[in-house]
Amino acid sequence: SIFKEYSLKDCKLKENIYDEKYLIRPLAIIDYNHGYIELLRQLTECGTITYNGFKQRFNQLKQCLNTYYVLVIEDINSDKQIVGTATLVCEKKFIRQLSIRGRIEDVVIHDRCRGQQLGKLLIDLLTELGRKKCDCYKISLECKDHLVSFYQKCGYNYEDKQNFLCQRF
Ligand code: 16G
């Protein structure tokens, strides 16, 4: 498939990526009507999200220049349904000579589309984007136990010197 040959041109993701079945592109407001939120529900709870609420949040992310890169996979043959997503967030720091730290967030592939390497493709694209275009000095992510080996295949590993801690509200 075209995916295997694709490499991020200038890492700008200016061109959409097609093959016969799927289109990979940045999130758009219209995706609200094509199952984007329902897809996110396969990852975690989302509560009630109205169209206006979604649009407002979308515009907030967009206003943060060079910070949020939300990719989606559209199923061309299935009424443009959104069947995959992943986000790269670039955090600006003072440390390490005003460095940028990347995080991979909210990765979901629709349960009916798993096993086609679509998740790996999204991670690879965002990792390349973070490394080459955004100049991240590191990119990290958190995941459930059963996904550790998947992310290891994408080049992510445990770090001895860091632990992940969390407080929930
Ligand atoms: C996973 C996700 C994270 C997401 C969280 C939601 C990846 C790599 N990790 O950790 O991005 O925000 O689940 O779960 O996709 P929560 O609602 O329990 O925080």
* Residue 23: inside a domain: yes
DSSP state of 10: G
Statement: the pTM of the whole predicted model exceeds 0.90: yes
Domain with residue 10: its CATH number is: 3.40.630.30
Q: Residue 123 — very low, low, confident or very high, per pLDDT cuts 50/70/90?
A: very high
Q: Which of 121, 7, 25 is nearest to 69 (CA)?
A: 25
- What is the pLDDT, as a whole number, of residue 116? 87
Give residue 133's domain range.
2-153
Handedness of CA 58, 41, 117, 134 (dihedral sign): positive
* Residue 163: inside a domain: no
Question: What atom in ligand 1 is closest to the CA of residue 147?
Answer: 8
To test the pocket of ligand 1, the residue of 42, 43, 140 to mutate (highest count of ligand atoms within 8 Å of its CB) is 43
- Nearest protein CA to atom 10 of ligand 1, as residue: 143
DSSP state of 37: H
DSSP state of 154: T
Residue 10 has pLDDT above 50, yes or no: no
* Residue 91: inside a domain: yes
Residues in contact with ligand 1 by the CB-under-6-Å rule are 43-44, 104-107, 141-143
In the numeric block, the tokens 């061109």 are attached to 15
